[in-house]
Structure 1
Amino acid sequence: MIRRRSLLAAPAILPALASTGAQAQPAWPQKPVRLVVPYAAGGGTDILARALAEALRPTLPHPIIVENRAGAAGVIGSELVARAEPDGHTLTAVVSTHVMNRHVLAQIPFDPIRDFTPVSMLTRNTMVLAASHTLPFTDIQGLRAFAAANPARLSTGSTEALSQFIGQELARRLRLEIPDVQYRSGGQLMTDVVAGHLPLGWTSTASATPHLATGRTRIIAVSTATRTPFFPDVPTVQEQGIPDFDLAGWVALLAPAGLPDAISARIRAAVDGAFADQAFRARLTALGIEPDLRPPAETLAAMQREDRIWAAASAAGHIQRQ
């Protein structure tokens, strides 16, 4: 009789056990989340990360804390995340040079693809050429003429490998020598452009937009094949006589390798909810940030594509290791 009762009770016990197992699945977040921005404060990625953290605050039981860990073209902050516990409480927002770094730096202490879990693509980064108000030209052809007449007067600021490559590729296509000046963030670069200390700089729309109201800088070109909606009157480099010039970046949200799929899905659902909010999207527009949400598989595919592009550029000698 005892055995029969046990067998009869078993079906009732199984749903209870399944329910207990479901409840035991870890929630996210269980504590404040570190969102590491491996670049200096004030740049486009930092601006986006802080806006996203603020948008997520009302929907999560714990805050997202943005932490700047700049240095070594993003390697220092990215390494911190690569070595973190894959529990969803340490994330990073990186630009596309996260992948490019392995082809331009002598060595990096992690694999930019294998040692991270893609959570979501966040935005597309159209790069723009900002010029100081002290310069007499307003377009690429004017830049070419000025540089030819004043060979030592121009330099181009950059903040990472992509913007550096764009600046040097444009100079190469124009048959000019324009030295590159490296900055730690787009905010610092734009401050020097506005002050007249830096003639030119390639940076993101998010970094450039807050400075346009000063009247001390102008945007003279965009890097992509199509114009950006943020500066619809600014022609592309292609439109200004340089064919097949189409280069852009992105910002992606990554976690350490091994992040459980269930936690990844929770994080992405929260991010999707923030981006669906009209007030948040309006804020991104005001900041000059172009949303480009993509799921993990598409984010991984974009990273792998970038890896192939920069491997080919390295083989062709268009980029060199530092």
Structure 2
Amino acid sequence: MSIAHRGRPAAPDLVARRVLLAAPALLSLPLRAQPAWPQRPVRLIVAYAAGGGTDIFARALGEAMRPALVHPVIVENRAGGAGVIGSDVVSRAEPDGHTLLAVVSTHVMNKYYLSSMPYDPIRDFTPIAMLSRNTMVLSAGATQPFATLPAMIAHARQNPGAVGTGSTEALSSFCGQELARRARIDTPDIQYRSGGPLMNDVVAGHLPVGWTSTASAMPHMQTGRVRILANAGATRTPFFPDVPTVQESGIADFDLSGWVAMFGPRGMDPVLAGRIYTAVAAAFTDATLRARLTALGVEPDLRDPAGLTAALVREDRLWAAASAAGTLQRAN
């Protein structure tokens, strides 16, 4: 993917210093006269196709926010480019709180994964809220000739190139590539626009395995046509407590987890960002939403603008180091 960048990106350390210097002010600025928010319906841009985990989560959150707001939160899917197309829409929007972005942690990783981007993922957005932990799981159709990760690895060694591995963005693609590298197997990366179409092909038997979120996998578990082979995090997920981690399955030090977060365009007033975060935090106290998130396989991890900023800076350094070491390869 090749998209021209608007200006030269700042070095990771310089970006980190700028964001960290600004972060303490986000929630400590004195209140001052602000226009009412929202003054019209709020567009929540989901940078992935309908039916995936992020889309499902965003719609549930928007519904939970509705009772406290004068206007509704309307989810709009802008899929494509590993999240770049939808993110670019928000980066160009007015910073008035009426166009927001729901995106996964590859928002930062894309900077080092894609050949070029039209924005900087940290500099050109206003952090509003970390929303959830995004545990990646390896799903397989029940008709596949393996029921565990070690069995899948053995099958892939006996049939090089036959076990295509679905992905939807940079993190799930990296999960597949890193597992293949460490297990010394050939599992071609097959890219999808979101977790919904990926899981449909897993269920139908068209795709051998796919890395996706618990939220994308959960709706299919009652069909009996899906197996979860492994979890990419350091610990087991409460949604699939019987599923071992990749580490437990024999691949040491494998720990790749993501998140879902909300952003606004660059230049949003910190007081407005704090106001939107407050509305999100209030929605998270709703018992109906929390029960729904549990049913959807979403692990809440609510953090304020400063907490999200710290996570962005940390991951920017992580992926910069991975790129410099050659363990994160640029997409073609």
Superposition TM-score, scaled by structure 2 size? 0.89
Tell me what 1:128 maps to. 137
- State the shift of 1:153 in Å: 2.2
- State the shift of 1:311 in Å: 1.1
Higher helix proportion (structure 1 or 2)? 1
Tell me what 1:206 maps to. 215
- State the shift of 1:273 in Å: 0.7
- Alignment counterpart, residue 314 of structure 1, candidates 317, 323, 327: 323
Task: Confirm or deny that 1:145 pairs with 2:164.
Answer: no
- State the shift of 1:216 in Å: 0.8
Cα distance in 1 between the residues matched to 2:157 and 2:82: 31
Cα distance in 2 between the residues matched to 1:38 and 1:50: 13
3-state secondary structure, aligned to 2:248: helix
Task: Confirm or deny that 1:81 pairs with 2:90.
Answer: yes
Task: Confirm or deny that 1:92 pairs with 2:140.
Answer: no
Cα distance in 2 between the residues matched to 1:295 and 1:24: 22
Cα distance in 2 between the residues matched to 1:121 and 1:106: 27
Task: Confirm or deny that 1:274 pairs with 2:283.
Answer: yes
- What is the 5 A alignment of 1:60-71? 60-71=69-80
Cα distance in 2 between the residues matched to 1:50 and 1:155: 31
- Alignment counterpart, residue 190 of structure 1, candidates 181, 193, 199: 199
- Alignment counterpart, residue 119 of structure 1, candidates 128, 145, 151: 128
- Alignment counterpart, residue 229 of structure 1, candidates 238, 244, 268: 238
Tell me what 2:10 maps to. none
Tell me what 1:242 maps to. 251
- State the shift of 1:31 in Å: 0.7
Give the alignment's Cα RMSD to 1 decimal: 1.2
Cα distance in 1 between the residues matched to 2:304 and 2:67: 23
Cα distance in 1 between the residues matched to 2:65 and 2:171: 29
- State the shift of 1:23 in Å: 9.1
State the Cα deviation string for residues 129-166 of structure 1 (Å, max 9, x = none): 00111212221211121112222421100000000000
Cα distance in 2 between the residues matched to 1:59 and 1:261: 20
**Matched-pair contact (CA < 8 Å) for 2:161–2:188:** no
Fraction of identical pairs, as percent: 68
Tell me what 1:162 maps to. 171
Cα distance in 1 between the residues matched to 2:243 and 2:229: 6
3-state secondary structure, aligned to 2:130: strand
Task: Confirm or deny that 1:36 pairs with 2:36.
Answer: no
Flag the structure with larger Rg. Answer: 1
3-state secondary structure, aligned to 1:202: strand
Tell me what 1:102 maps to. 111
Instruction: Write the letter of the residue equivalent to 2:173.
Output: Q
Cα distance in 1 between the residues matched to 2:161 and 2:255: 27
- State the shift of 1:25 in Å: 2.4
- State the shift of 1:57 in Å: 1.2
Task: Confirm or deny that 1:54 pairs with 2:60.
Answer: no
Tell me what 1:302 maps to. 311
Instruction: Write the letter of the residue equivalent to 1:159.
Output: T
State the Cα deviation string for residues 45-67 of structure 1 (Å, max 9, x = none): 10111001111111110000101
State the Cα deviation string for residues 14-70 of structure 1 (Å, max 9, x = none): xxxxxxxx8952111111001001111111110111001111111110000101111
Superposition TM-score, scaled by structure 1 size? 0.91
3-state secondary structure, aligned to 2:216: helix
Cα distance in 2 between the residues matched to 1:318 and 1:266: 39
Gaps of 5+ in 1: 1-21
Tell me what 2:20 maps to. none
Instruction: Write the letter of the residue equivalent to 2:319.
Output: W
State the Cα deviation string for residues 173-229 of structure 1 (Å, max 9, x = none): 111111000000000000000000000000000000001111111001000010000
Cα distance in 1 between the residues matched to 2:277 and 2:308: 12
